[in-house]
Amino acid sequence: MNATMTGRVPLAKRSPKSTSKTKEEKRENNKKFKHAKLKTKENTRYKFRWTQIPFFLIHLLPLGAFFTGVHVADAIFLAVFYFTGMFFVTAGYHRYFSHKTYKLNRFWQFIFAFMAQATAQKGVLWWASHHRTHHKYSDTDYDIHSAKKLGFFYSHLGWILSDDHEETDYDLVKDLAKYPELVWLNKHPLIPAWIVGITAYLIGGASMLFFGFFLGLVLLWHGTFTINSLTHMFGKQRYVTGDESRNNPFFALITLGEGWHNNHHFFQSSTRQGFFWWEFDITYYILKLLSWVGIVKKMRPVPDHIKYAHIREPEKYSAKLRNEKNQS
Ligand SMILES: [Zn+2]
Ligand SMILES: [Zn+2]
């Protein structure tokens, strides 16, 4: 039984995985996060900058479809782009690059990074380094996008638009930065998205560009941002994590499995985020298929002592105690 299971772990150290580390590993880990900044309402207030204009402009571009009309092929492109894009966000950016929950060879690693970046959510090392910071400090004063501390807008969009988070902290992603092809991709984050956009235009003209590509991009952005904001606000908490992470089936549907966010915050090392059979996790099902053809290897399971932690120690999971823990 580890320290989390006995409830003796300070709230800042939440995952069962992190509690099994040696003292040296913990010290090393804390050194890595030395750039974490204290977040207050004042230093996270929204500031307009000219560099944000393309981001806002892209939100208006789907309206171009009113001038071009929409064809069936455009709708098909939109559906395929959203589905594959979201798969590579969750399977790539999140479950592989941020958490290393399964293995890929170097070729497929590059393909997963490239495809994830087709959604224009910045470089793969940028994404992973910021996400690792989120888990380290979730819903504390150092969390980069805490909905609880900083409100919905900052957790959804504000942190991405802020100049505090433009740089990649390479200290946090040394395991990824040793691959020059990933570093190159990280420094040229928009190349994959440009290729998809140009392809859409060449296949289906302006209507596919506006309705298929740009609308797809906007939906993919907000679908992903929802995990940072709304899954820390709405849903149920099965496990005591000391943060506001929630399980929510609707968000799991639109993000192909990421909505089981309380499960994920409790145990970040498993490939699947829907821990029980009824918690549908489309990303996991696709990764399972890819493992049968040898692309994906060594998917990490959810151990039973983690999965049933709430049943084995029900007294720890009562609503009253959970509230007390969250307030302390
Ligand atoms: Zn995560
Ligand atoms: Zn989270």
Q: Is the pLDDT of residue 17 over 60?
A: no
pLDDT band at residue 32 using 50, 70 and 90 as cut-offs: confident
Q: Is the pLDDT of residue 4 over 70?
A: no
Q: Kindly give the distance from the C-alpha atom of residue 98 to the centroid of ligand 1, in angstroms, as a whole number.
A: 7
Q: Kindly give the distance from the C-alpha atom of residue 275 to the centroid of ligand 1, in angstroms, as a whole number.
A: 15
Q: Is the pLDDT of residue 42 over 90?
A: no
Q: What is the per-residue pLDDT for 18?
A: 46
Q: Kindly give the distance from the C-alpha atom of residue 7 to the centroid of ligand 2, in angstroms, as a whole number.
A: 21
Q: Is the pLDDT of residue 19 over 50?
A: no
Q: What percent of the chain has pLDDT over 70?
A: 90
Q: Kindly give the distance from the C-alpha atom of residue 61 to the centroid of ligand 1, in angstroms, as a whole number.
A: 31
Q: For residues 193 and 107, what is the distance between their CA atoms, to the nearest angstrom?
A: 19
- Residues 297-311 have pLDDT tens digits of 999 999 999 999 887
Q: Is the pLDDT of residue 230 over 80?
A: yes
Burial 214-233 (b: 16+ CB within 10 A, else e): bbbbebbbebbbbbbbbbbb
Q: Which ligand is nearest to the CA of 264?
A: 1
Q: Kindly give the distance from the C-alpha atom of residue 292 to the centroid of ligand 2, in angstroms, as a whole number.
A: 30
Residue predicted with more confidence, 5 or 85: 85
Q: Kindly give the distance from the C-alpha atom of residue 128 to the centroid of ligand 1, in angstroms, as a whole number.
A: 9
Q: Kindly give the distance from the C-alpha atom of residue 135 to the centroid of ligand 2, in angstroms, as a whole number.
A: 6
Tell me the residue type at 47: K
Alpha helices in the chain (DSSP H): 3-6, 16-19, 23-32, 53-60, 65-68, 72-88, 106-117, 124-137, 147-153, 159-161, 174-177, 180-187, 191-207, 215-228, 249-254, 261-266, 282-292, 304-307, 309-312, 319-327
Q: Kindly give the distance from the C-alpha atom of residue 135 to the centroid of ligand 1, in angstroms, as a whole number.
A: 6
Q: What is the per-residue pLDDT for 26?
A: 73
